Each structure stands twice: as structure tokens, then as C-alpha cells.
Amino acid sequence: MTSIAATAESVADARALGLAHYAARGVLEHVLARHGSTFQQQIVLRAAVTTDSPQTPDDLVARAQGSLKADPADIRATLDELLAKQLLAADGAHLRPTDAGRALLAAVGAEIAPISARIWGQIPAEDLTAAGRVLALVTERANAELAELAA
């Protein structure tokens, strides 16, 4: 297994970003698997839980697609999975999270919180602020490039 140590000379680039993303996602997916859930299900369910107004399936697909950059058909399949697991429920033309769906997110959040604290802990605030600015800019630029490619 290759280890990548952070040094004062570390430079952020696409590879470093990808390695960090997949390492952190791997941790989350391990926790989610213990709860019988997937990364995509968690993102879609979170989109339903964190909204102030009822969402149609199309609304949730659009919100999740903004995060996942996944095929809308795959996100719709995930909605069906969440409905089958009774983590989402149909309410007329809208979908709403169930108590079980909210409980799942709470349980995963409680389990991942101490792990996240170990991962992010003791990183200086100024480093996190700088990284946040860079990641926001990379996200903005990559979304613009993706929009151009899709046009």
C-alpha cells in the first residue's frame, strides 16, 4: 500500500484531490455498508432531508445530479431503492423522507463524526480556509467545463 504524506511542499492537483476524495469516500462507504446503504443512496436521501419544501422526483434528481454528476436514470433507480427500503415515501406528487430515512442519516452521521474528527483534526484553520477557497474554485471551474462538454 502506498502512503502519501502531507508535507509543506505538497501541491494540490487533480491527482491529490482524487486521492483525498476516494480515501474519504472509502471511509464513508465502509460505514454506509454496515447500515445497508450506498454512497449514492446517502446523497439522494440527504437531498430529500435537507430541503425546506416537498420535492418531486424530478426535483430530487436535479439536486442529486448537482452533487453526483451521475446519469439521471441512475439517480431515479436510487429513488426507487430508497422507496423500496421505505427511507423515502410518496406523498402525492412529492417524495418525503421517512422517520427511518432520517434515523439512517443520523446513525451514519453519529458513526462517521469521530472518524471525521480524526481525519480533519489538528489541521490549522488557515490551511482549511485556503483549501476551501481552492476547492470551491476547482468545483466552479470543473462544473463550467462539464457544462461545456454537455452542451
Supply the pLDDT for residue 1: 47
Asked whether residue 7 carries a pLDDT value surpassing 60, the answer given is no
- For residue 106, what are the domain limits? 24-112
Query: How sure is the predictor about 5, in pLDDT bands with cuts at 50, 70 and 90?
Result: low
Confidence (pTM): 0.86
In a domain, 149, yes or no: no
In a domain, 89, yes or no: yes
Give the CATH number, domain containing residue 74: 1.10.10.10
Asked whether residue 2 carries a pLDDT value surpassing 60, the answer given is no
3-state secondary structure the chain: CCCCCCCCCCCCCHHHHHHHHHHHHHHHHHHHHHCCCCHHHHHHHHHHHCCCCCECHHHHHHHHHHHHCCCHHHHHHHHHHHHHCCCEEEECCEEEECHHHHHHHHHHHHHHHHHHHHHHCCCCHHHHHHHHHHHHHHHHHHHHHHHHHHC
In a domain, 100, yes or no: yes
- Tens digit of pLDDT for each residue in 23-74? 999 999 999 999 999 999 999 999 999 998 889 999 999 999 989 999 999 9
